[in-house]
């Protein structure tokens, strides 16, 4: 049985990811010992420590680049429980930024991690589906969506005020939203951008950049549009709901399996269905109630995250059929 988790992550820990890692540490600390490793020096100390060789130690990591570490751990302790936290799709991220070699390497490394017996913990059903399509049935996998574990505030009816969160040139795909709303019928508040290119300046667009409290900032609008082309379970969705905003998403990955009613969905591709402006016009006219339209989503987001963490990590994840 596990009595200690070692969390290994190299790289910046910012924003929603930082909050979620802190939450994971807090939840696990209630039952287990927890060590976080963020440097190679700390990792080397762990590799020569007695703790590594104890039967009760499990390891959590977040990057496919950690496959050499996983291979080493398998040599030292073949039965160790090792969890790969899949919070997004590195292949899609790399392809979006034009890094085809990194995308190909990510695909190879992820397959290796499956062969090495890692337990995959996906942030969403969409991610699980993408990996299952890419690699076949995964031997041991579970889904751990980001939830808040408390009742959400009332959701305001859509009054025409829209928010978008993200930066230009990223998988957040904020360009699609701004291009779609070029007519100026919906004032847009932009958060999270590093800059605002001159050609993007419009009288109906107000850019705020990075803000210290996104949930508080979103209370100035009534709807948040998510147009990402790659995502895990977006923390922005939680920020929006906690701010009392409704949420609109598109019909494709990474939101295809998210339990959001069709009234609150648009199509990215022209001619495939209702565009973003068409959906917003209908929502503004109908004054639909987001909560009653999306009961399954509200129930999911309000669910107890700590219970979900223990179900995935303490029990080791749902045992799935081994791929032939």
* Domain spanning 162-302, CATH class: alpha beta
Q: Where in the chain is the domain with CATH 3.40.50.2000?
A: 4-147+304-314, 162-302
State how far the Cα of 71 lies from the Cα of 115, in Å rounded to an integer.
10
Instruction: Specify the pLDDT at position 13.
Output: 81
pLDDT tens track, the chain, 324 positions: 789 999 999 988 877 888 899 999 999 999 999 999 999 999 999 999 998 988 899 999 999 999 999 999 999 999 999 999 999 999 999 999 899 999 999 999 999 999 999 999 999 999 999 999 999 888 889 999 999 999 999 999 999 999 999 999 999 999 999 999 999 999 999 999 999 999 999 999 999 999 999 999 999 999 999 999 999 999 999 999 999 999 999 999 999 999 999 999 999 988 878 999 999 999 999 999 999 999 999 999 999 999 999 999 875 444 333 232
> Distance of CA 273 to CAs 153, 177, 262, 270, 288, Å?
31, 16, 11, 7, 20
3-state secondary structure of 93: helix
What is the spatial distance between Cα 237 and Cα 225, in angstroms, rounded to a whole number? 9
Query: pTM higher than 0.95 for the full model?
Result: no
For residue 53, how many other CB atoms are within 10 A of its CB? 11
Q: Strand order of the sheet with strand 188-191?
A: 205-209, 188-191, 162-165, 223-226, 246-250, 265-266
Q: Which of 319, 106, 314 is nearest to 230 (CA)?
A: 106
Q: Could you tell me the CA-to-CA distances from 172 to 103, 158, 161 in Å, in that order?
A: 18, 22, 19
Handedness of CA 39, 45, 50, 53 (dihedral sign): positive
| Structure token pair of residue 321 | 């059929």
Give the separation between CA 273 and CA 183, rounded to whole angstroms: 19
Q: What pLDDT score does 151 carry?
A: 96
DSSP string, 25-83: HHHHHTTSEEEEE-SHHHHHHHHTSHHHHSTTEEEEE--GGGHHHHHHHHHH-TT--EE
- Token reading at 195: 């800059």
Tokens at 55, concatenated: 């039967």
Q: Which residues pair with 60 in a beta bridge?
A: 7, 83
Cα separation, 119 vs 131, whole angstroms: 13
Strand (E) positions, 156-276? Answer: 162-165, 188-191, 205-209, 223-226, 246-250, 265-266
- Going edge to edge, which strands form the sheet with 82-86? 33-37, 4-8, 57-61, 82-86, 119-122, 141-143
> Regarding the domain delimited by 4-147+304-314, which CATH topology (the fold level of the hierarchy) does it fall under?
Rossmann fold (3.40.50)
The SS3 of residue 191 is strand
């Amino acid at each position: 049985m596990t009595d200690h988790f070692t969390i290994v992550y190299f790289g910046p820990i910012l924003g929603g990811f930082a909050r979620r890692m802190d939450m994971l540490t807090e939840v696990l600390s209630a039952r287990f010992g927890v060590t976080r490793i963020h440097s190679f020096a700390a990792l080397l100390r762990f590799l020569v420590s007695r703790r590594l060789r104890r039967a009760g130690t499990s390891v959590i990591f977040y990057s496919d680049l950690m496959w050499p570490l996983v291979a080493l751990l398998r040599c030292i302790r073949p039965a160790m429980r090792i969890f790969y936290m899949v919070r997004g799709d590195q292949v899609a991220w790399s392809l979006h930024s034009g890094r085809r070699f990194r995308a190909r390497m990510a695909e190879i490394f992820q397959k290796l991690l499956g062969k090495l017996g890692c337990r995959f913990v996906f942030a969403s059903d969409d991610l699980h589906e993408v990996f299952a399509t890419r690699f076949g049935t995964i031997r041991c996998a579970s889904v751990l969506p980001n939830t808040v574990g408390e009742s959400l505030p009332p959701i305001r009816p859509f009054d025409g005020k829209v928010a978008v969160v993200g930066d230009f040139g990223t998988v957040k795909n904020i360009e699609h939203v701004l291009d779609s709303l070029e007519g100026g019928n919906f004032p847009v508040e932009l958060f999270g951008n590093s800059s605002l290119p001159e050609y993007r300046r419009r009288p109906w667009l107000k850019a705020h950049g990075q803000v210290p409290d996104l949930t508080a900032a979103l209370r100035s609008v009534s709807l948040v549009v998510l147009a990402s082309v790659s995502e895990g379970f977006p923390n922005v969705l939680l920020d929006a709901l906690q701010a009392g905003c409704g949420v609109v998403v598109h019909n494709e990955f990474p939101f295809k399996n998210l339990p959001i009613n069709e009234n609150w969905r648009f199509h990215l591709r022209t001619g495939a269905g209702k565009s973003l402006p068409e959906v917003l016009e209908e929502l503004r006219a109908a004054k639909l109630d987001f909560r009653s339209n999306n009961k399954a989503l509200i129930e999911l987001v309000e669910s107890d995250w700590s219970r979900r963490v223990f179900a995935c990590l303490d029990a080791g994840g749902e045992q799935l059929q081994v791929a032939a």
